[in-house]
Amino acid sequence: MTSPHPIALLITTLLVTAPLALAQAPAGVPLMKEPIKPQAATPAAPATSAGTAATTAGKPGEPRTITWDALVPPNWDPFKDFKGLNLQMMDDGDPRTMQFLKRMREVWDNAPPNPKIVGQDVRIPGFVVPLEDSKEGMKEFLLVPYFGACIHSPPPPANQIIHVLPKSPAKGLRSMDTVWISGRISTVRTDSFMGAASYRLEAVDVSPYQDKGK
C-alpha cells in the first residue's frame, strides 16, 4: 500500500476534515464559521460607515459586534495563485508538491488584514487556542473561527486568527472553549507555535459564549 500524498493530506484536512470537526463539535458549541473554501469570486458586500457590512452597530460607547467575514479584505482570494493546478497529477516525489505546500502556507500565513476594521472597538465570538496559561488564568490565547482550528486541523489564514491579550488573566478557560471577546483590534502580527495571526486584540472583556450574543 502506498502512503497518502502530502498534498492530498493537506487539501483533505483543510477542506474536508475541518468541516467534519464542525459537524462533530460538542452539543451547544456554536458553529461560528466554516473554513475558507475555494469558490468563484463574488461581488464584495457594500461597505458601511463602520468599515464592512459584516458588523452590527452597538449602543454609544459599546464595542461593535462583528463577524469573522469583517476581518477579510473585500475580494481577497486565498486560492488565487493555485487555480488551474492539477493536484491529482502530483505525487510524493514531485518537487512541485512541496513547493505547493510551502507556497500555500506562506500565502495563508501572510493573509492581509482588513484596514477598514483596524482601530475599532469590536466584539466577536470564537474558539480558544491557549498560548500561555498560569495559576491566575490564561494570559494569552488565539481566537479562531471554527472548532478544531490550529489543534485538530491546520491553522486558517492569518486574517482569520486573532491574538488575544486579556486585560487580566482569563480564569477557567480551556482549549476550544467558546467566548466573546471585546476590545480594540489592531494589526500587530503574531507568529506562534499554534499559528500566525494578522490581528491582535487587548481584550477588556472575555466572557463565555451565549447564543445570539445575549
Q: Which domains does the chain have, with CATH numbers?
A: 6-32+51-213 (2.40.50.870)
Beta carbons within 8 Å of 213's beta carbon, 6+ residues apart: 65, 123, 125, 180
Q: What are the pLDDT tens digits along the chain (214 aa)? A: 444 444 444 544 444 434 433 334 444 444 455 544 443 333 333 333 333 345 566 566 789 999 999 999 988 887 777 776 666 666 666 677 777 778 888 888 999 999 999 999 999 999 999 999 999 999 999 999 999 888 888 899 999 999 999 999 999 999 999 999 999 999 999 999 999 999 999 999 999 997 654 4
The pTM assigned to this predicted structure is 0.73
Place of cell 464542525: 22
Report how far apart, in Å, the C-alpha atoms of 49 and of each of 58, 72, 74, 120, 208 are: 13, 17, 15, 12, 29
| Structural contact between residues 145 and 67, judged by C-beta atoms closer than 8 angstroms | no
